[in-house]
Amino acid sequence: MEGAELAGKILSTWLTLVLGLILLPSAFGVSLGISEIYMKILVKTLEWATIRIEKGVPKESGLKSSASVGIIQRDESPMEKGLSGLRGRDFELSDAFYFSKKGLEAIVEDEVTQRFSSEELVSWNLLTRTNMNFQYISVRLTAVWVLGVLVRYCVLLPLRVTLAFIGISLLVIGTTLVGQLPDSSLKNWLSELVHLTCCRICVRALSGTIHYHNKQYRPQKGGICVANHTSPIDVLILTTDGCYAMVGQVHGGLMGIIQRAMVKACPHVWFERSEMKDRHLVTKRLKEHIADKKKLPILIFPEGTCINNTSVMMFKKGSFEIGGTIHPVAIKYNPQFGDAFWNSSKYNMVSYLLRMMTSWAIVCDVWYMPPMTREEGEDAVQFANRVKSAIAVQGGLTELPWDGGLKRAKVKDTFKEEQQKNYSKMLVGNGSL
Amino acid sequence: DPKRCSCVYFEVDLNPTCRLLGGSASLLRLYHRFRALDRNKKGYLSRVDLQQIGALAVNPLGERIIDSFFPDGNLRVDFPGFVRVLAHFRPVDDDDSGMRDPKQPEPLNSRMNKLRFVFQLYDLDRDGKISRHEMLQVLRLMVGVQVTEEQLESITDRTVQEADEDGDGAVSFLEFTKSLEKMDIEQKMSIRILK
């Protein structure tokens, strides 16, 4: 009897603390400053750890340089210069040198494959998962690491799981309740309140620290918001600061329940799997949505897949054919505190969330950018590239023309044909037959 | 004392391979790259793993380069085999040529071996000669559908005629090297791995 009473008391104290310190402030959008203190302590600890590592590691076996520097010295001269000739020159046996060198360079290091795995860190952040060259340095460092593991798994993880649970339940219950009301401005206001509160709770469930820049450009109703994609958490990060209408496939399971509940409170655009294949249907429904100026802005990730937040890959043109105003948003995570990238081939959703909840924190910057519209004489692809460049520049990311779909599929033959065309032009001149 | 790289899957005797590449740091980097390309963690690479590299798949000679990793009908290439091909592209350093023991076989990154690598890109059946037919096929790989059959045949005829000295209608390795004797192979066929 005593044991059960004690457990009951502990549980109720725990829940009251959580309620008072986290849930209530979330509802009002107020912060008590606890997470700021946590972050300060964390930063100091990581700085100390970095100094100790640098002192401890001998120089030759040193830390691997960051992936952005590159393994090989590259000569980025275009095909014409590399083949040392002018237009209309003849084929030489030595042409194969250029192509074989380029080919071998690609084998040693290519721009795309490295984007589908987590970014390498220059200095260790006390998480074994990020350092491939983990080696013993000193007793003190190992002790701090062990302490870190204890803190993360025994203190932070239960707290975060509790919060996540509460957040999601509140979302489902709240939106279902709000959905019962007749359509009115009260309903919209309540639905916004529910969404924002639950999102804030969920963000605290990840110890997220988000900095929003240029809030004056926040996406407006009747527009389309596009952003670079790193993980499913992107959605959470954006919806904490504003309400959006999501676009996506109807899932089963927990996701499905959340989706069905959300759509009762405010109109999201969920598609059946079969409907997704029909591009005209998708475009039509999206057009209808943005035509209604009272509806929330649509949130779309044009890359179509998760990239590791060091670069922005090709934006699929579908979102840019709908018309309407595009509000670009750049999201950049700070990998020092936790790696937010979802490598879907390596981790499923549950183990990904577990990794998120046992990281130190999720720290990111969100930049809202001035709205853009398609100009005269610009087609969807050019417009998509223009938006992509803007986002890459703002977020400090590299820009790549490659398709994120290369994660799973081979490159399209059209790209190879382009290379062959370039080469052929050099051999036989401009269409002289 | 042979250097060994022990890792989860297998041990590799790296001493000769180390010399091929100039140091264990470069070797380690290439090993991580090998692991990254090996998508299903098989311990070896297959053609598909290399074809997944976008920049290689769009290379006009991409298929021939991939072929060079799988000689003699092999379907797999392990890490030493991977390194052996890459070693052809190691820059030729000055101190190498002076100290080399003439009794040892020529290093893979010598001028001769670099030329042999490219020769084998053209020599489809590896018989030591590039026939007119082989030249035509490789050229077709490089230009795709962009060039007509007649144009391609005239280019092939001209190339073979220029290089062929003994009039047998094919280009042997010696004729190949002779036609390229003035070319700066070292610069065009070297990939420098950053320290």
Å from A363 to nearest chain B CA?
A: 27
Å from A64 to nearest chain B CA?
A: 9
* Dihedral sign, Cα of residue A240, residue A246, residue A248, residue A249: positive
Q: How far is CA A349 from the centre of its chain?
A: 14
**Per-residue confidence band for A68, with pLDDT thresholds at 50, 70 and 90:** very low
Q: Are B176 and B164 in contact (CB under 8 A)?
A: no
User: What is the model's pLDDT at position B18?
Assistant: 53
* Helices first, then strands: H and E counts in chain B: 12, 4
**CB distance B194–A70 less than 8 Å?**
yes
Give me the mean pLDDT over the A381-392 stretch: 91
Give which of B94, B4, B78 is closest to B42, Cα–Cα: B78
* Residue B148 contacts A, CB cutoff 8 Å: yes
User: What does pLDDT average to in each consecutive run of 10 residues of chain B (195 residues)?
Assistant: 38 51 70 83 87 86 90 87 86 59 72 88 88 89 86 87 86 88 82 72
Residues 82-111 of A with CB under 8 A from B: 90-111
Give which of A206, A186, A204 is closest to A194, Cα–Cα: A186
User: What is the model's pLDDT at position A80?
Assistant: 64
Q: Are A366 and A237 in contact (CB under 8 A)?
A: yes
Give which of B26, B173, B138 is closest to B86, Cα–Cα: B26
Q: In degrees rounded to 5, what are phi and psi of residue A225? A: -100, 125
**Per-residue confidence band for A129, with pLDDT thresholds at 50, 70 and 90:** low
SS3 A208: strand
User: What is the model's pLDDT at position A369?
Assistant: 92
Exposure on the CB side of residue A318, measured as CA atoms within 13 A? 18
User: What is the model's pLDDT at position A67?
Assistant: 41
**CB distance B54–A424 less than 8 Å?**
no
DSSP state of A128: G
pLDDT (tens digit, 9 = 90+) per residue, A316-374? Answer: 888 888 888 899 999 999 888 888 888 777 777 788 888 888 888 888 999 999 999 88
**CB distance B58–A416 less than 8 Å?**
yes
pLDDT (tens digit, 9 = 90+) per residue, B35-57? Answer: 888 877 788 899 888 888 888 88
End-to-end CA gap in chain B: 24
pLDDT (tens digit, 9 = 90+) per residue, A142-196? Answer: 788 888 888 888 888 888 888 888 888 888 888 888 888 888 888 888 888 888 8
Q: Are B34 and B79 in contact (CB under 8 A)?
A: yes
* A98 or A88: which leads in pLDDT: A98
* A42 or B97: which leads in pLDDT: A42
Q: Are A104 and B86 in contact (CB under 8 A)?
A: yes
User: What is the model's pLDDT at position B1?
Assistant: 29
Element (H, E) at A382: helix A380-395
- Residue B166's CB is within 10 A of a number of other CB atoms, namely 9
Q: In degrees rounded to 5, what are phi and psi of residue B130? A: -95, 105
Of the given ranges (A194-203, A207-216, B100-109), which has the lowest mean pLDDT?
B100-109
Strand partners, A326: A224, A372
* Residue B8 contacts A, CB cutoff 8 Å: no
**Per-residue confidence band for A256, with pLDDT thresholds at 50, 70 and 90:** confident
User: What is the model's pLDDT at position B102?
Assistant: 65
* A265 or A29: which leads in pLDDT: A265
**CB distance B56–A110 less than 8 Å?**
yes
Report how far residue B77's alpha carbon sits from residue A249's, in angstroms, rounded to the nearest whole number: 41
Report how far residue B125's alpha carbon sits from residue B146's, in angstroms, rounded to the nearest whole number: 25
CA–CA distance from A182 to each of A178, A192, A209 (Å)? Answer: 9, 15, 36
DSSP state of B77: B
Give me the mean pLDDT over the A273-286 stretch: 79
Q: Which residues from chain A sit within 8 angstroms of residue B37, using beta carbons?
A: 107, 113
Q: What is the mean pLDDT of chain A?
A: 79
B141: CB partners within 8 A, 6+ apart: B60, B61, B63, B64
Q: Are B85 and B108 in contact (CB under 8 A)?
A: no
Indicate whether A61 pLDDT > 80.
no
Q: Which residues from chain B sit within 8 angstroms of residue A117, using beta carbons?
A: 36
CA–CA distance from B46 to each of A30, A95, B58, B70 (Å)? Answer: 56, 27, 18, 9
Q: Left (φ > 0), alpha (ψ -120 to 50) or beta: where does A250 sit?
A: beta
User: What is the model's pLDDT at position B24?
Assistant: 65
Q: In degrees rounded to 5, what are phi and psi of residue A360? A: -65, -55
Cα angle at B23 between B19 and B27, to 5 degrees?
A: 95
Report how far residue A197's alpha carbon sits from residue A193's, in angstroms, rounded to the nearest whole number: 6
Long-range contacts of A95-98 (CB under 8 A, 24+ apart): A95/B142, A96/B61, A96/B118, A96/B121, A96/B122, A97/B118, A97/B183, A97/B185, A97/B188, A97/B189, A98/B188
> Could you give the domains of chain B?
12-89 (1.10.238.10), 107-195 (1.10.238.10)
- Residue A77's CB is within 10 A of a number of other CB atoms, namely 11
For residue B61, the chain A residue with the least C-alpha distance is A99
Residue A197, token pair as written in the block: 């509160």
Q: Are A76 and A38 in contact (CB under 8 A)?
A: no
Query: What's the whole-model pTM score?
Result: 0.74
DSSP characters over A213-259: E-GGGPPPTT-EEEE--S-THHHHHHHTTS--EEEEEPPSHHHHHHH
User: What is the model's pLDDT at position A58?
Assistant: 57
**CB distance B142–A420 less than 8 Å?**
yes
Å from B99 to nearest chain A CA?
A: 25
* B154 or A52: which leads in pLDDT: B154
User: What is the model's pLDDT at position A133?
Assistant: 52
Give which of A193, A120, A197, A207 is closest to A161, Cα–Cα: A207
* Residue A378 contacts B, CB cutoff 8 Å: no
Give me the mean pLDDT over the A255-270 stretch: 79
The interface predicted TM-score of the complex, written ipTM, equals: 0.85
Which alpha helices (H) appear in B15-172, and where do they start and end?
15-21, 24-37, 47-51, 54-57, 62-69, 79-87, 94-99, 111-122, 132-143, 149-163
Residue B152, amino acid: L
Report how far residue B112's alpha carbon sits from residue A131's, in angstroms, rounded to the nearest whole number: 41
User: What is the model's pLDDT at position A429?
Assistant: 61
For residue B30, the chain A residue with the least C-alpha distance is A108
* Residue B183 contacts A, CB cutoff 8 Å: yes
Q: Are A265 and A178 in contact (CB under 8 A)?
A: yes
Q: In degrees rounded to 5, what are phi and psi of residue A330? A: -110, 135
Report how far residue B137's alpha carbon sits from residue B152's, in angstroms, rounded to the nearest whole number: 10
Q: What percent of chain A has pLDDT over 90?
A: 7
Per-residue b or e along A109-127, where b marks 16 or more CB atoms closer than 10 Å to that residue's CB: bbbbbbbbebbbbebbbbb
* Residue B193 contacts A, CB cutoff 8 Å: yes
Give which of A175, A233, A230, A231 is closest to A205, Cα–Cα: A233
Report how far residue B167's alpha carbon sits from residue B37's, in angstroms, rounded to the nearest whole number: 45
A56: CB partners within 8 A, 6+ apart: A137, A138, A141
User: What is the model's pLDDT at position A82?
Assistant: 64
